[in-house]
Chain A
Amino acid sequence: MSVAARHLLASAGPVSNFSWNLLADLRQMLGYAFMRNAFEAGAMVAVVAGVVGYFVVLRRTAFAAHALSHIGFAGAAGAVAVGVIPLWGLLAFCLTSGAVIGGLGQRLRERDTVIGIVLAFALGLGALFISLYSGSSNEAISILFGEILGVSTGDLSLTLAIGLITLALVAALYRPLLFTSVDEDVAEARRVPVRMVSVVFMMTVALAVAISVQVVGVLLIFGLMVTPAAIAERVCRSPGQAMLVGVAVALGSTWLGLAISWYFAYPVSFFIISISFVVYVAVRVASWAKERAVRAMAVA
């Protein structure tokens, strides 16, 4: 299914010509099971990535999230090499390294060095696993860049299950997670188990990364986890609001990207990432212009 869908899209040129009857286009689009699955998987992943991404940005752990996705690549490649579903390999590698990274704590200096060292090793392993797998390189490409159009109905339920676990973990950790993110010293003095919160959170990120990889791939995970949250941090003034905006941006760019890919046979992940990128740039430009206007008014 997955390979068939990709080839259908990759080789056939424009899948459908643009018409002004968008409703009819949408109906046609959703007539295909692989498109329906893509919209559903995209929605689940966008919600999870938007929520978890908020904390990734808040805690300045973007590098850790990035590393997790690449470590997950090694896991997925390993799973392919031994003939298991890539997602299992992703989960195994991401969860283990997530626990280790979380154990390193919040202090940035030592943490990022260790993450970088483990990341390099994991990528080396990934290279080995790919060479062990004698099949085509398609599998590796789809792990790297995502394959949302190849999500099967079975993948969907697994994505939903993991997504719900992720959201439940965030909900349970909510206040201590916010507290330790902005105020580790005070939280520690108030008896928040800082290290434990950090470990469970990084494992939550690992779960979110594992399911997001299906949609955008390990190389582009930032587009769903970091860009929407960074946009939200610029425009929002409370954590709840920022999470909602993050989810909205992630969801909007995923669905819009999918819809655009219906007309143009370029990778879906490219469209998804580009949309959130453009929004980010627009928000930065707008806030710069606003600041300038405020300053000009203050001078005058």
Chain B
Amino acid sequence: MTAGHAPVIEARGLAGGYGGRAVWSGADFTVAHGEFVAVLGPNGAGKSTLLKMLLGLLPPLAGELRVLGSSPRRGSAHIGYVPQGRNLEAAVAFRGVDLVGLGLDGHRWGFRVPTRPRRELPSSVTEALEAAGASEYARRRIGEMSGGERQRLMLAQALVSKPQLLLLDEPFANLDVRHQSVMAAVVAEVAVEQSLSVVLVAHDINPLRRVVDRVCYVAGGGVAIGTPEEVVTGPVLSRLYGGPVEVLTDSRGRRFVVGLEEETAHPHARSRASVVEGAVR
């Protein structure tokens, strides 16, 4: 959070959804330059919808949204994006560098005109790979990479256009707990080095505890934003969900969201299981 910079994201009375139906509404928040915000909440609460609105892929249903000083517009090189649920199945016969290169100029027609010695990469590709900690294996086949390696490659692809804002949709979904923490640390490091703002959608606050500045909790048709200590609390989440929710903290400071014995206001509650968030794996 650097002083003297205009906010990266500003939302006033924002409502999000698709097909004309709002999934959440009344969101007021700003994300400052260099800030790391985690977007949390249950499945179907509209977390990805928020990212798509920031990208200009979905229009706001109500209210006002400004990203990097203007209304969100599709195609901005200032935003790096890693969508949800990507496993790079189609790209098994690509090298890492091929995938990252697409982030640089994949939107241009024709071939990349070779202007340099054949094996040399554009410097932005090398830098992005370096920043994401993916240089070492970038010339290997993607088909032979692990989930964590692929995830860092996708981060490199998002970084290659030198963005100011990074939008990551569930980058931890296919990773085990240890790799989740590694990935969170990599993202945080890159964000500090390149003074990036980060909006990261996740299911679980715990791998992000040490790196996030604020949390944006999307649930029950509303949005709450603040520090984890302010937002991931029983009273705030009970209000959001419209039902009794408790937050337990263990000896290491990890938070576990517990409650919702009966499926209350939230239509997409995953199950009747009492632990809805942050289960120990």
Contacts and interface: CB of A to CB of B under 8 A. Distances in A.
Interface of A: 58-60, 171-176, 178-179, 181-183, 185-192, 232-234, 236-239, 242
Contact of B74 (A173, A191, A237): A191
Given A59-B90, A186-B157, A236-B93, 19 more contacts: A58-B93, A175-B109, A175-B111, A176-B106, A176-B108, A176-B109, A178-B106, A179-B102, A182-B88, A182-B91, A183-B106, A187-B102, A189-B55, A190-B75, A191-B75, A191-B107, A237-B93, A238-B93, A239-B98
Measured as residues with beta carbon below 8 angstroms from the partner, the interface class of chain B is: 20 to 34
B92 interface: yes
B205 interface: no
A178 B102 contact: yes
Per DSSP, chain B at the interface is loop
Nearest to B52: A189
Nearest to B143: A237
Residue among A60, A174, A182 having the largest count of chain B Cβ atoms under 10 Å: A182
Nearest to B97: A238
A142 to B, nearest CB: 35
B79 A189 contact: yes
A238 B86 CA distance: 19
Interface string B248-259: 000000000000
B258 to A, nearest CB: 33
B239 interface: no
B93 A239 contact: yes
Nearest to A187: B106
27 contacts: A58-B90, A58-B93, A174-B109, A174-B110, A175-B102, A175-B105, A175-B106, A175-B108, A175-B110, A175-B112, A178-B102, A179-B102, A182-B91, A182-B99, A183-B99, A186-B103, A189-B81, A189-B83, A190-B77, A190-B103, A191-B74, A192-B106, A233-B93, A237-B94, A238-B98, A239-B93, A239-B98
B141 interface: yes
B107 A192 contact: yes
